[in-house]
Amino acid sequence: MKELLKSPELLHYVLDTMVEGLFLLDKDLTIQYMNSSAMQIMDGFLNENDYHGRNFHDYVKIAPIEFDEEGTSMLLECVKNGKPLTRVVSEYSNGKTLSINVVPIVIDNEKRGLMLTMEDVTKLVEMEKELDMAFALTLPNSKVEHKMKTTIEYQDEYNPELKNIRITGIIKDGVYRHVVNSLKIFSSLAAQGVTKVIGIDKDQLVQAIIFHDLGKVQPDLMIGDVVDPREVFEDSKLHAYRSAEIAKHLYHQPDDVVDLIKYHHHSEKEASEFLPWRLLPMFRLFQLIDGLSAAVTRGGVDVIFTVNGSSVTVTEHNKRPKYDGTRKIDLFTGDHKKIEQ
Ligand SMILES: [Fe+2]
Ligand SMILES: [Fe+2]
C-alpha cells in the first residue's frame, strides 16, 4: 500500500490543517512553533510576522490565560507545577470566545515546555446564549431569574483525608447553571423513557427543579480558601425549607411539588416519614438529578446513564470516592447498588 504522506510532510500537513490553533512553547514561554489556525484565530492580535524566538506574552497581544491576581504568568505556573489547564473559556476584546487547553510537555521527568491549543467557540457560545434566553422566558418571572443568576456556586477540590475543600473557582450564575444542567439531565433521562415510569410526572419534576434552590444563600469565600464544608456552608435542609415556602406561597405550586422541594436534602429514610409512597419514585429521581447536575455544574465530572424500566444505572467519573464508579438505583424500591467493574 502506498503511504499517503511521508512522515515529515505528514506532521506538517496535520498541524497546518487542524482546526485548533496550536502553540509549542519552551519552558521560558518562547514560541517554538505555531500553526496556521493559531495565526488565523489570533489575527490582528499578533505583534509581528515572525514568531520565532519571541516570548509568548510579548508576541500575542491578547494573551489568552495571562496573569493571575498576583501578576504571575499562569503559563509559567503551568510549566512549574506540571498540571494541565483544560477548557479555559474566555471572551476576548476581538469579540472571539476561545476555549484553551494547556498541556505541559514533560519528557524523562524534564519539564520542557507547554503545548497550548485553542479553539474558536464564539458561535457555540452564542447559540448557548440564545438557548439561555429562550429558557429564561419559561421562568415564572424576572425575580426567579435574578435570584438564580446571582446565587453563586463554588468549584472545589475535596481532600478525603482531611475532609476539607479548597475553593478553586466561583460560578457567578451557579444556581442558574445548575438548574439548566438538571433540566438537560432530566431531558436525556426522559428520552430514555424515565417519564413512562408510574409516579414520575414530567411537569411536576420540571417545576421542582426550577424552584428547588431559590432559597439558597452562600457564604463569602475566595479562590484558594481551604474550609471545612460542614462548618462554612449552611445546613442544606434550611434552603430546601425556604425554597418550598417560596414555591408554595409566592408561586402557588401544587403540594406534591412543594413536598419534593422541601425534602430534597433529607435522606430517603428521613423523607419517607413525610412523603407518601407514590411520591418516592419522583423523590429518588429528583435527588439523583440534583446530585448529578451539581457534579456536572462544578466541572470535571463525566456522567453516563441508562434507564431500564424503573431502574437507572449511572456511571460517574468523580474524584469523590463515594460517587465514583457505576451504581444502579431502582426508583420504585429505592434499592441502591454499587456495581463493581
Ligand atoms: Fe438544594
Ligand atoms: Fe440543587
3-state SS, one letter per residue, for the chain: CCCCCCHHHHHHHHHHHCCCEEEEEECCCEEEEECHHHHHHCCCCECCCCCCCCEHHHHECCCCCCECCCCCEHHHHHHHHCCCEEEEEEECCCCCEEEEEEEEEEECCEEEEEEEEEEECHHHHHHHHHHHHHHHHCCCCHHHHHHHHHCCEEEEEEECCCCEEEEEEEECCHHHHHHHHHHHHHHHHHHCCHHHCCCCCHHHHHHHHHHCCCCCCCCCCCCCCEECHHHHCCCHHHHHHHHHHHHHHHCCCCHHHHHHHHCCCCCHHHHCCCCCHHHHHHHHHHHHHHHHHHHHHHCCCEEEEEEECCEEEEEEECCCCCCCEEEEEECCCCCEEEECC
- Same domain? For 155 and 221 the reply is yes
Q: At what angle do helices 174-191 and 280-298 cross, to 10 degrees?
A: 120
Residues 160 and 101 in one domain: no
Distance 340 CA to ligand 1 centre (A): 29
Asked if the model's pLDDT at residue 140 lies above 70, the reply is yes
CA distance 51 to 46: 9
Ligand approaching nearest to the C-alpha of 288:
2
> How far does the centroid of ligand 1 lie from the alpha carbon of residue 294, in Å?
9
CB neighbours of 80 closer than 8 A, spacing ≥ 6? Answer: 111
Same domain, 224 and 167: yes
Question: Is 290 found in the same domain as 166?
Answer: yes
Whether residue 88 sits in one domain with residue 34: yes
Mean pLDDT of all residues in 200-221: 96
Ion ligand 1, residue ranges at CB < 5 A = 213
Q: Is 244 among the domain residues? A: yes
Q: Given a cut of 80, is residue 68 above it in pLDDT?
A: no
- 127 in a structural domain: no
Distance 327 CA to ligand 2 centre (A): 20
Last residue of a domain, one of 68, 96, 121: 121
232 shares its domain with 146: yes
Same domain, 205 and 330: yes
pLDDT at 286 over 70: yes
**Residue 241 domain-assigned?**
yes
Residue 2 lies in a domain: no
Which residue reads 507547554 in cell numbers?
114
CA 89 to ligand 2 center in whole angstroms: 24
Ligand 1 mean position, distance from CA 169 (Å): 19
Ligand nearest to the CA of 178: 2
Number of domains in the chain: 2
53/67: higher pLDDT: 53
- Region 266-283: what's the mean pLDDT? 95
Full residue range of the structural domain in which residue 212 is found: 138-339
Q: Which residue has the higher pLDDT, 305 or 88?
A: 305
**Which ligand number lies closest to the CA of residue 175?**
2
- My answer on whether 101 and 183 are in the same domain is no
- Give the residue-averaged pLDDT of 66-89: 75
pTM, entire model: 0.73
82-86, 145-149, 257-261, 272-276: range with lowest mean pLDDT: 82-86
Same domain for 83 and 167? Answer: no
Q: What are phi and psi of 101, to 5 degrees?
A: -120, 135
Q: Give yes or no: residues 233 and 159 share one domain.
A: yes
148 alpha carbon, closest ligand: 2
* Whether pLDDT at 70 is above 60: no
Ligand with smallest separation from the Cα of 289: 2
CA of 294 to the centre of ligand 2 (A): 7
The verdict on 115 and 155 lying in the same domain is no
Cα–Cα separations (whole angstroms), residue 181 to 45, 201, 206: 35, 19, 12
The residue-averaged pLDDT of 242-271 equals: 96
CA of 255 to the centre of ligand 1 (A): 18
Q: Stretch 232-236: mean pLDDT, rounded?
A: 95
pLDDT, mean of residues 264-288: 95
Ligand 2 center to 145 CA (angstroms): 15
Starting from the CA of residue 216, give the closest ligand: 1
CATH number for the domain harbouring residue 49: 3.30.450.20
The residues whose Cβ lies within 5 A of ligand 2, an ion, are 213, 290
Q: Which of 121, 147, 177 is the last residue of a domain?
A: 121
Distance 239 CA to ligand 2 centre (A): 10
Cα of 110 vs centre of ligand 2, distance in Å, is 44
- The CA-atom distances, in angstroms, between 308 and each of 181, 185, 197, 202 are 22, 16, 10, 17
- Rounded Cα distance, 23 and 35, in Å: 7
CA angle 333, 339, 341 (to 5 degrees): 165
What is the predicted pLDDT for the residue at 203? 95
Residue 7 has pLDDT above 80, yes or no: no
Tell whether 132 is covered by a domain: no
CA separation for the pair 180, 157 (Å, rounded):
23
Whether residues 277 and 211 share a domain: the answer is yes
Domain final residue pick, 70, 90, 121: 121
Residue-level pLDDT at 341: 62
CA of 84 to the centre of ligand 2 (A): 29
Mean of all residue pLDDT scores within the chain: 89
Residue 216 is assigned to a structural domain of this protein: yes
Cα separation, 252 vs 184, in Å, equals 25
Q: Per residue in 300-336, pLDDT tens?
A: 688 899 999 999 999 988 777 777 889 999 999 999 9
Read off the pLDDT band of 59 (50, 70, 90). Answer: confident
Evaluate whether residue 73 is within a structural domain.
Answer: yes
